[in-house]
Structures are given as C-alpha cells and as structure tokens.
Structure 1
Amino acid sequence: MCQVEFEMACAAIKQLKGPVSDQEKLLVYSYYKQATQGDCNIPAPPATDLKAKAKWEAWNENKGMSKMDAMRIYIAKVEELKKNEAG
C-alpha cells in the first residue's frame, strides 16, 4: 500500500457520477481525515451544526486507527463505490 494508490483513490472519488449515500460519504470522509491528519484534533462543533457534528463524529470514531490502516480502508471503500457505480 502506498501513497500513490491513496492519491489515485482521492482523484477517483471525485469522478464518481452515481449516487452515494450520506452514510457512505461520511465513511469516506472519516477515513480520508484519519489517513491525512490522524486522530481528530479539533473540538466537537455545536450540536446545532448537524453536518459538522456528523462529520466530526464520523472522524472521531476512527480514533487510534493508524494512518496506513485508514488509507487501506479508504482505498477499498472507493473501489467498492466504483464497482457499485459500474453496476
């Protein structure tokens, strides 16, 4: 597993045209953040900001996961989404 594959997956996700559920978007986001920044290092947003709160919670659930593991999962999830789009 290498940085190049991760970067290719990052580019590929932007090319998806099919519908992606909000839950899948949150998962992909959380693994991207964990892979690029590590453990969530920002305070929780206010509960009234539902979108920011959901993103924070998704990322924070990955606490303790290594950046390499997050990259692997991110790449696998993007591949899964690409397969689903292809039908």
Structure 2
Amino acid sequence: MDLKEQFEAAVAESKQLSSRPSNDILLKLYSLYKQAVDGDAPEEGPTGMFDIVGKAKHNAWASLQGKGSEECMQAYIDLIQELKG
C-alpha cells in the first residue's frame, strides 16, 4: 500500500475512532489533512470577528506552512495510529 492509500485509509479510520479526540488533536488532524491535500494555507483567514473556530483552524493550518504533502500525510497516519492505540 503506497502512502496515499495509507493516508486515505487513515482518514476513513479517523471517522471510526472509539472516542472523540480533544479539540487540540482535532485541530492537528485538520491542519495535517489540509496541508497534505491542499498545500499551504491562504494568507488571509476568516475575517469574521466571532469566527473563533475558523480562525483556530486557519492558524493551525498556517503553522504548517512549507511542509510537504508526504510529510503531512505520514504525520496524519502516525497520529491516527496513536489514537487507535
């Protein structure tokens, strides 16, 4: 199984975890997924004053600026494996 197939399997497994991860872990999963699939975050994030969740997601994604797709896929896979125990 190549890295992309492993990544897709990990994404599917993320929806079947026995317990819901903490918000910090969910942000990490989100940012790794977005960086792996879409590349670097756009410079401008959500502009709504009350979009706290959107801003947190954008900031988490932007923190991975410059990381490669394969590196993020592997980190996502590793994190899902860790969460599965």
TM over 0.5: yes
Instruction: Name the one with the larger helix percent.
Output: 1
What is the alpha-carbon root mean square deviation over aligned residues? 1.2
TM-score, scaled to structure 1: 0.89
Q: Tell me which residue corresponds to 2:65.
A: 63
Q: What do the CA deviations read for 1:13-72 (whole angstroms, capped 9, x no partner)?
A: 001131310000000000000000010026211242000000000000000000000001
Q: Tell me which residue corresponds to 2:19.
A: 18
Structure 2: stretches of 5+ with no match in the other structure = none
Structure 1: stretches of 5+ with no match in the other structure = none
Distance across 2 between alignment mates of 1:66 and 1:42: 17
Distance across 1 between alignment mates of 2:72 and 2:44: 21
Q: What is the total number of aligned residue pairs between the two structures? A: 83
Amino acid across the alignment from 2:58: W
Distance across 2 between alignment mates of 1:60 and 1:48: 19
Query: Runs of 4+ in structure 1 displaced over 3 angstroms?
Result: none
Q: Tell me which residue corresponds to 2:9.
A: 8
Taking every aligned residue pair, what percent have the same amino acid on both sides?
A: 37
